[in-house]
A and B are shown apart, each in its own frame.
Chain A
Amino acid sequence: MDWNYISYYFNWLFGEIRNFLLVANNPGQKIFLAVVVIALFVAVMALLLWLVDRPRNPRGWLVASVFAGPALLLIGFGLVYPAIRTTYSSFYDRNGQNFIGWDNYVRAIGEPEFQLVLRNTALWVFLVPILATAIGLIYAVIVDRTRFEKLAKTLVFMPMAISMVGASIIWRFVYDYRQASSPQTGLLNQVLVWLGIEPQQFIIQQPWNNFFLIVVMIWIQTGFAMTILSAAIRAIPDDIVEAARLDGLSGVGLFRHITVPSIRPALVVVLTTIAMATLKVFDIVRTMTGGNFGTSVVANEFYTQSFRYNDKGIGATLAVILFVLVIPLVVYNVRQMRKVEEIR
């Protein structure tokens, strides 16, 4: 047989397959394509796992790379590459063409506009974890082993199930403002009117509006804190509590000397987890104020700069700053989680 003929034939075959697989014009074709890709992925993985299982004593690195490799590749494409790319962009100007060194960072830290953003973020990261954890802890202790425990916990946990955007819309109604002369539609202002106080523009008055936004995040995160801490409190053995009672503790003393130290690892995990979520907060600010009236935070500002003002450089810089701020929290969090597991 002629080699030319064979190569021609294969070229034609691959072309047909390529056209068939990659050109999807209607939903049916797209779904079919998706199924084919998934099947292909399963087939490739099955083949790899089968191959690695073949030899009697497969080498450790081989097994490890087959199991961890695909995940690592995906992390590489989805996380590591964008992270490097973003860091790279942060050293370039708004169009990503001219290298400008640390200028973006100097701007991000120096300009009053961005200083406000950093201040707001600091405020969020300081207040939300501490208040959400404190409220969740006190609530967990109070409802622990009462008759209405389940109902009480469900009520506090429910906001967790609401999306941040949904929660923000709910709270925008709560904060809604109408002129004093007209009837109030916002719950909070109606309460103020009942109390004989002038209605307030909660979302606009600086700097207090930041606190009203923070309340929304606390409302969402308290349920999380309460659930984890309640489980941790439950895990304290009864006899330790009894021993403490015999040793002369009760009420606040028991809480301070026994409950809190016993759940310390869980407390740290909750605090850092909420702190991470808060650092990345975007939806609430975006939905409630769009970052106006001095309420912008790093994640929101990064979005605004990158996609509305098209300043890729400063946007990337803010993203990097956010990233750098989150890292220590993540490291600490993971360490504490390991400790919790050790104790178990």
Chain B
Amino acid sequence: MATVTFDGATRIYPGTERPAVDKLNLHIEDGEFLVLVGPSGCGKSTSLRMLAGLEDVNEGRILIGDRDVTDVQPKDRDIAMVFQNYALYPHMSVADNMGFALKIAGTPKAEIRQRVEEAAKILDLSEYLDRKPKALSGGQRQRVAMGRAIVRQPQVFLMDEPLSNLDAKLRVQTRTQIAGLQRRLGVTTVYVTHDQTEALTMGDRIAVLKDGLLQQVGTPRDMYDTPANVFVAGFIGSPAMNIGTFPVADGAANFGKAHVNLPRDVIANIRPEDQGQITLGFRPESLDIVSAGTQDSFPVVVEIVEELGSDAFVYGSLTQDMAGTRLSSGAGEAQIIVRVDPRRVPAKGETIWVRVREGEQHQFHAASGERFDI
């Protein structure tokens, strides 16, 4: 088992100016499950492929354990990778697919067979060992791809969106299976996904990337409770956080007639480049429905109600007298998401009054988008 360290690792694709991955510094502990997450094109897959040795590292180093593997061939890095499309060899049986790396490495046949059978047992594939990948379902193929990685008993597992080709229900099932398997095997795992739910549910820690730059690393709780900047705040959490930029006056952020009181430290730390503005974020569950006209509340016109059984979310827009206030959420510009009691759901077109619960807002610098450091 081993740790993984990205030490200022940079990848610049030939013919492009902007690095796909820019000076990535990341340390992954032995046995840790780290999820790289971000929107498409953020460099998460490139980072993984650099670790695998499938992409060159233009600057910096990559270490597995104490060994610098920056210029080591992929096969000598003692890693195993699960690909998005599984990359099973179509002309080989399941057993041959799983044991192929060992065969190339010259492992005795009996040992290959034994290790393949063990892995097949763990993954519930024993009865399919003689089939070709073509004769398997999507979920089974995914498990064969996992099996191929397990059989190698590597130092590090690399997984590149391994669940994205499964249907929603199977994805949720397999998600917990993979996470459970990883805990049991205790192998350091780097997992790439664009799905923040997957990241939150599977990872010991999450690393959020955007435009090749690492935004924040932390436990799922950290990411949710104290996002380091506006991007992470908007990316982590489903439904997404409501974010808006408001003028600050009299120790509070003002939008329309509503005020959100800000801590004194925050007021003191507003920088000149923020120009007297502050970016506030509040999660859908941080909004209370109150009666009309309550102090500091503002009206929201209900557009859509999403009922999930245990929860219900209102997707609404601000009314006319709030015009000029810029607010957005994962649902789009000028939209606001409110979690409501699933047993008392407002009707479409109705106007509800909501108020930000005291102290539950996230404060960011209006200019840089960074979280107030308090």
A interface list, Cβ under 8 A from B: 237, 239-240, 242-250, 253, 257-258, 261-262, 264, 343
A245 touches B74 (CB 8 A): yes
Bound form: Cα–Cα A261–B84 in Å = 22
Encode contact with A along B70-87: 1 for CB under 8 Å, 0 otherwise.
000111000111011101
Encode contact with A along B81-97: 1 for CB under 8 Å, 0 otherwise.
10111011111100000
Q: Contacts A242-B54, A246-B80 given: A261-B91 contact, CB under 8 Å?
A: yes
A247 touches B104 (CB 8 A): yes
A243 touches B91 (CB 8 A): no
Q: Closest CB-CB distance, B259 to chain A, in whole Å?
A: 54
What is the number of residues of chain B that contact chain A, defined by CB distance less than 8 Å?
A: 24
B residues 98-138 near A (Cβ < 8 Å) are 100-101, 104-105, 134
Ordered nearest first, which 8 A-B pairs have the shortest CB separation? A248-B75, A239-B87, A243-B87, A247-B101, A261-B91, A248-B104, A239-B83, A246-B74
Q: Is B52 among interface residues, defined by CB-CB distance under 8 A? A: yes
Contacts A243-B89, A246-B53 given; 9 further ones with Cβ under 8 A? A242-B54, A242-B83, A242-B87, A243-B148, A244-B89, A246-B79, A248-B101, A261-B91, A264-B91
B54 touches A262 (CB 8 A): no
For A261, list chain B residues within 8 Å (CB).
Answer: 89, 91-92
B85 touches A247 (CB 8 A): no
A262 touches B101 (CB 8 A): no
For B84, list chain A residues within 8 Å (CB).
Answer: 239
A237 touches B85 (CB 8 A): yes
Nearest CB to that of A246 among chain B residues?
B74
- Among the interface residues A237, A243, A248, A253, which one has the most CB atoms of the partner chain B within 10 A? A243
Selected contact of B75 from candidates A239, A245, A258, CB within 8 Å? A245
Q: Closest CB-CB distance, A186 to chain B, in whole Å?
A: 46
Q: Contacts A243-B81, A246-B80, A248-B101 given: A237-B87 contact, CB under 8 Å?
A: yes
Write 12 A-B pairs (CB below 8 A) sorted by A numbering.
Answer: A242-B83, A242-B87, A243-B81, A244-B89, A245-B54, A246-B53, A246-B75, A246-B79, A250-B73, A261-B89, A261-B92, A264-B91
A253 touches B104 (CB 8 A): yes
For B101, list chain A residues within 8 Å (CB).
Answer: 246-248
For B89, list chain A residues within 8 Å (CB).
Answer: 240, 243-244, 258, 261
Nearest CB to that of A247 among chain B residues?
B101
Bound form: Cα–Cα A258–B88 in Å = 11
Nearest CB to that of B83 among chain A residues?
A239
For A253, list chain B residues within 8 Å (CB).
Answer: 104
Nearest CB to that of B154 among chain A residues?
A246
Nearest CB to that of A239 among chain B residues?
B87
For B100, list chain A residues within 8 Å (CB).
Answer: 247, 257
B104 touches A343 (CB 8 A): no
Bound form: Cα–Cα A250–B75 in Å = 10
Nearest CB to that of A240 among chain B residues?
B87
B83 touches A243 (CB 8 A): yes
A246 touches B81 (CB 8 A): yes
Bound form: Cα–Cα A249–B92 in Å = 15
A246 touches B52 (CB 8 A): yes
For B79, list chain A residues within 8 Å (CB).
Answer: 246
- Among the interface residues B84, B87, B92, which one has the most CB atoms of the partner chain A within 10 A? B87
Bound form: Cα–Cα A53–B148 in Å = 57
